[in-house]
Amino acid sequence: MDMQPIPAREGNHNLKDYQAKRKAFSWEEVKKNFSWYHTGKVNIAYETIDRHAENPDKKNQTALIYSAPDREEKLTFSDLKNESNKFANILKKQGVKKGDRVFLFMPRSPEFYASFFGILKVGAIAGPLFEAFMEQAVKDRLEDSEASMLITTPELLERIPQDDLPDLKKIVLVGDYDEKSDNYVDYYKEMENSSDQFEIEWVDLEDGMLLHYTSGSTGKPKGVYHVHNAMIQHYATGEWVIDLKPDDIYWCTADPGWVTGTSYGIFAPWLHGVTNVIRGGRFTPESWYGTIDQNNVTVWYTAPTALRKLVSSGDKVVNQFDMSSLRHVMSVGEPLNPEVITWAVDAFGLRIHDTWWMTETGAMLIVNYPVMDIRPGSMGKPIPGVEAGIVDNEGNELPPNQMGNLAIKQGWPSMMRAIWKNPGKFESYFINGWYVSGDSAYMDEDGYFWFQGRLDDVINTSGERVGPFEVESKLIEHPAVAEAGVIGKPDPERGEIIKAFITLNEGYEASDELVEEIRQFVKLGLSAHAAPREIEIKDTIPKTRSGKIMRRLLKSWELGLPTGDTSTLEE
């Protein structure tokens, strides 16, 4: 769709001179905003929370507005400092040390954030898990990371296969529970008796702070390892892209189980000391608009799937709410439809600013600044300090308007430092000094980047990244399923849905009931978002001679596209 650029609004002044800022840019300047630059004492938890709690002008400011259907709560920076200190003392008492992996598996709540910062304060590595994960997904991540401790709720305990996790020494339970075990620690009881004084474990900028598991086209999910140094870019993008000002009320809709929910649901807003809205509960258009209206949200970071749902809920719904507090809206995770941008201009009088980045990149890389003219459908331009390009498979840069691999020159502050216990996988991201994203894109003559698709088999359903291998592995665990091939199928609302092709074992008859049973099996074993919405039973699944499932071919069949080179197809 060809659309006219939408010009920048007046009043947005940051980074007005983009070219000049790029030319004169040095990350050294950004570092001066941190207290460690002056004291030498590093910890991201200190910069995010304690620094404001020690500032008489800020300590009593609301840091967190927690809003869920059954609970409303406000915590100041001082509260968050004290609560996380208490939790850090619990961890210390339990013997948690620097570098240990401590996972969180629970819904968003004030306790989640207190625990999260407690983990960072002892110098441990936090591993937040999406609360909708089922047993297999939880097991894969705790096993691979060799997590020694987990914070969860009694309701979620049944999804944790404790007997299969020898490294998991302790489970902190947030809530009442009956079953007694030496491995359980009672969150509320321990917090009551814990001191709110804690000496933070000072670390190195290159020490680990976060493990986020994400999917590729092959194998189980990989642990993307981030270090404290990432805060430099969280801070910078918080200023340039999110445009945070001291009086802002900010809302990022992402769950902290995904990278957007940590980098931009936790670090960027609190590094800037702004009031951060955290919403619990399920999505409905009314509850989301209501969150903006009731809290007077000024800056909002969300995702295309949610925006598309808001569009389809109609003007009548949006008109019941007062959206006039909003000043700035951004999106991430999937292609942002130009129609949605046009809708937002009508509905809130605001443009939506697309941003592009990945779990691996730790922070935004290609963005639409507040001051930029938006070309609807484009992800925007690289931030200062970041060199983006389109490269061929050998890592040679391609000229404008030519499609290729979207790649970033190595060396930005928030880049992952490793794939947990998998150096080979980490190496495979790099060619000729470029980090190769796996996305295809082109750059126009004016330096705007345009997303075209994924180059691998990774599925993006409602902005959530799903690896086909994980779903296939779960499918073939079902006694009826012999073989499985899984693809992403384009969908107007969700971006893609998961479609599975399966063959049945002997003795099983195809039926709607069986298909539904298999779907439920994946949903209850892995997670709802990874369960195929469509399952088609076939006589055979196309494979290469070496036995690899040809997902590309399945996709071409599904979409009625030319099948291309099938010379490696098994007879």
* Interaction pattern, residues 257-296, with ligand PRX; x per rule: CB under 6 A: --xx------------------------------------
Give the type of residue at 98. Answer: K
Provide, rounded to whole angstroms, the least separation between the CB of residue 328 and ligand PRX.
16
**CB closer to ligand PRX, 276 vs 355:** 355
Provide, rounded to whole angstroms, the least separation between the CB of residue 263 and ligand PRX.
8
Provide, rounded to whole angstroms, the least separation between the CB of residue 253 and ligand PRX.
12
**CB closer to ligand PRX, 271 vs 504:** 271
Work out which of 185, 358, 408, 553 binds ligand PRX, going by CB under 6 A.
358
Is 454 a binding residue for ligand PRX by CB under 6 A? The answer is: yes
Work out which of 240, 357, 448, 521 binds ligand PRX, going by CB under 6 A.
357
C-alpha to C-alpha distance for 569 and 551, rounded to whole angstroms: 11
Provide, rounded to whole angstroms, the least separation between the CB of residue 464 and ligand PRX.
7
C-alpha to C-alpha distance for 553 and 571, rounded to whole angstroms: 14
Among the listed ranges 273-281, 351-359, 414-422, 496-504, the one in contact with ligand PRX (CB under 6 A) is 351-359
Work out which of 79, 83, 255, 354 binds ligand PRX, going by CB under 6 A.
354
CA-CA-CA-CA dihedral for 67, 73, 74, 77, to nearest 10: -100
Is 207 a binding residue for ligand PRX by CB under 6 A? The answer is: no
Tokens of 198: 């804690």
Is 255 a binding residue for ligand PRX by CB under 6 A? The answer is: no
**CB closer to ligand PRX, 417 vs 543:** 417
Tokens of 127: 């591993």
Work out which of 194, 233, 298, 359 binds ligand PRX, going by CB under 6 A.
359
Q: Find tokens 């941190």 and name the residue.
A: 34
Provide, rounded to whole angstroms, the least separation between the CB of residue 531 and ligand PRX.
18
Is 439 a binding residue for ligand PRX by CB under 6 A? The answer is: yes
Is 527 a binding residue for ligand PRX by CB under 6 A? The answer is: no
**CB closer to ligand PRX, 92 vs 555:** 555
Provide, rounded to whole angstroms, the least separation between the CB of residue 147 and ligand PRX.
21
Given CA atoms 218, 223, 229, 230 in this order, what sign does their dihedral have?
Answer: positive
C-alpha to C-alpha distance for 93 and 253, rounded to whole angstroms: 34
Task: Name the region of 204 (left: φ>0; alpha: ψ -120 to 50; beta: rest).
Answer: beta
Work out which of 153, 437, 461, 473 binds ligand PRX, going by CB under 6 A.
437
For residue 481, CA distances in Å to 511, 540, 546 come to 13, 12, 21
Task: Name the region of 4 (left: φ>0; alpha: ψ -120 to 50; beta: rest).
Answer: beta
**CB closer to ligand PRX, 357 vs 469:** 357
**CB closer to ligand PRX, 115 vs 214:** 214
Among the listed ranges 153-161, 354-362, 417-425, 503-511, the one in contact with ligand PRX (CB under 6 A) is 354-362
**CB closer to ligand PRX, 83 vs 457:** 457
- Beta strands in 166-207, from DSSP E residues, in sequence order: 170-173, 184-186
Cβ-Cβ contacts under 8 Å for 510 (sequence gap 6 or more) = 504, 537
**CB closer to ligand PRX, 81 vs 465:** 465
Name which of 167, 166, 165, 174 is nearest 148 in CA terms: 167
Work out which of 438, 523, 543, 544 binds ligand PRX, going by CB under 6 A.
438
Name which of 457, 546, 464 is nearest 500 in CA terms: 457
Pairing of strands 170-173, 149-152: parallel
Give the type of residue at 466. Answer: V
Given CA atoms 153, 158, 159, 163 in this order, what sign does their dihedral have?
Answer: positive
Residues 285-344 that bind ligand PRX (CB under 6 A): 332-335
Provide, rounded to whole angstroms, the least separation between the CB of residue 214 and ligand PRX.
5
Chain-centre distance of CA 369, in angstroms? Answer: 20
C-alpha to C-alpha distance for 414 and 229, rounded to whole angstroms: 6
**CB closer to ligand PRX, 334 vs 457:** 334
Residue showing the smallest CB distance to ligand PRX in the complex: 359
Residues 212-231 that bind ligand PRX (CB under 6 A): 214
Q: Please report how the helices 135-145 and 468-475 are oriented relative to each other, as an axis angle in degrees rounded to 10.
A: 120
Q: Which residues of 553-570 are buried (b: 16+ CB within 10 A; e: fewer)?
A: bbbbbbeeeeeeeeeeee
Work out which of 133, 451, 469, 501 binds ligand PRX, going by CB under 6 A.
451
* Interaction pattern, residues 460-479, with ligand PRX; x per rule: CB under 6 A: x----x--------------
Give the type of residue at 116. Answer: F
Cα 515–Cα 516–Cα 522 angle in degrees, nearest 5: 95
C-alpha to C-alpha distance for 156 and 131, rounded to whole angstroms: 8
Q: Which residues bind ligand PRX (CB under 6 A)?
A: 214, 259-260, 332-335, 354-359, 379, 437-439, 451, 454, 460, 465
